[in-house]
Amino acid sequence: MIVMKFGGSSVANRGQIEKVLAIVRSARERAPVVVSSAHKGITDALVNAAKAAASGELDSEQIAPIERQRELLAELECPPDLLDPFFAELGDLLRGISLVKELSPRSLDYVSSFGERMSVRAIADFMTRNGLPARAHDVWELGFVTNSKFGRARPVEGWELGCREAFARLPADEVPIVTGFVGKNDAGEITTVGRNGSDLTASLLGGALAAEEVQIWTDTDGVMTADPSVVTGARNIPHMRFDEAAELAYFGSRVLHPSTLLPAMSSDIPVRVLNTNRPEHCGTVIETIAAPNPSATTSIAYKEGQSVLVLRTTRMFAQVGFLARVFEVLGRHRVDVDMISTSEVSISLTSANRPGLEAAAAELRADGEVELHHGRAILVVVGRHLPERPGLGVRILQGVAGAGVNVEMISYGMDSINFTMLINDADIGRAVAVLHEMLFEPSGPETKPGPTA
């Protein structure tokens, strides 16, 4: 068995879904389980409709996701009434939100779920009519029971047994087309695992079902040496270790959801990232023990929209437990820290949670002088051989400085596989371009072979 996840761009229209059909048909002997995202743009339209309903502006926004889905049904030549029950349910839900003028996390998950629930039914219908028997399934029908953390739900302990039993009952002659991104809690309330979470759904199912591998089908040739939208010369990385891919996913790589790799790592199931538009390409295989990579570096990633909190106080000096107090405040305001640097009298830390950081800053002013800065980006160079190359960090910083980019913070742990810098959002393009030229292009100083792992 293999689990094949197709993202929104892979199921965006009939042309793309025809490619998906051909890919799944070619894998039929491997017992594929297909996990699908919503059609491209539908989830954004649903979220906008929910927000508009909460503000009382219902009519025009409500129509957008329904009309786009109707257009896709017509493109696929599905029965025009295939999704009428969903359109009616969605309309009732948005009207209810507009009446109370309140959009709770639970209601937002409910609205957001319609994208995947509608797409799997349209895709299954299209595949069946084109010679590949398929059936749509909401993932909760297959044992995917979650907790009640709306917007970031995770499966409850022991869910895997129910999942395996549910899949064992499915007809062997049909391809399951399963909703990604969504779930249900024990109370029967719809939850989501977070935006772009269909990758995570696929990885969790792969682990539960002991799949041969999990395939993530997207619109790039696997994981790349940099964001192709920023660096036109970005190259494919054929083999990666889980720890390298996890660092890249967390620090902004657009290919994988940050949590995708955890279930695969714990089950030791390879994750293969492939291009729906070029299925013949080898893509990237991510596994525990990867093929040797002679380059010092693997890839460059960035994570924009960071805010920085700087706390300066002499009360830190030789004070046991001061940092514990700071992190207790951050924890209460749900601030997830990405970078941190400390001295005897100051702390600098970053987070993408601006509201939480602002709330924490108000409390921490009782302990010293606090500054907040916004519009920053984390820029990270990942490579399994970074600790083995003396002076590489210096050359990275020189390269960034040569591009006229100021580095405001640095983080590099002992034996770390990532070298992390904080820069201005506006400088991402220049910094990534110069680093890619230096580290990955033939004339760069770091492209010559080095020691293997």
User: Residues forming the annotated binding site for ATP?
Assistant: 5-8, 218-219
Tracing tokens 């094949």 back to the chain, one arrives at 4
Estimate the crossing angle of helix 392-402 against helix 428-440, to 10 degrees.
130
> Whole-angstrom Cα distance, residue 79 to residue 73?
7
- E strands, 238-368, where? 239-241, 271-275, 284-287, 299-312, 339-342, 346-351
> Whole-angstrom Cα distance, residue 140 to residue 166?
10
299-312 and 369-382 beta bridge pairing: antiparallel
**Numbered residues of the known binding site for substrate:** 43, 116
Q: CA 180 → CA 4, 21, 239, distances in Å?
A: 11, 18, 26
- E strands, 338-441, where? 339-342, 346-351, 369-382, 409-411, 418-424
Quick count: other Cβ atoms within 10 Å of Cβ 298?
A: 28
32-36 and 175-179 beta bridge pairing: parallel
Structure tokens at 152: 């970031």
Contact (CB, 8 A) for 240 and 290: yes
Residue 216, C-beta contacts closer than 8 angstroms, at least 6 positions apart = 5, 7, 199, 202, 255, 256, 260, 271, 272, 273, 274
Contact (CB, 8 A) for 425 and 354: no
Contact (CB, 8 A) for 307 and 357: yes
**Numbered residues of the known binding site:** 5-8, 43, 116, 218-219
Q: How many Å is the Cα radius of gyration of the chain?
A: 24
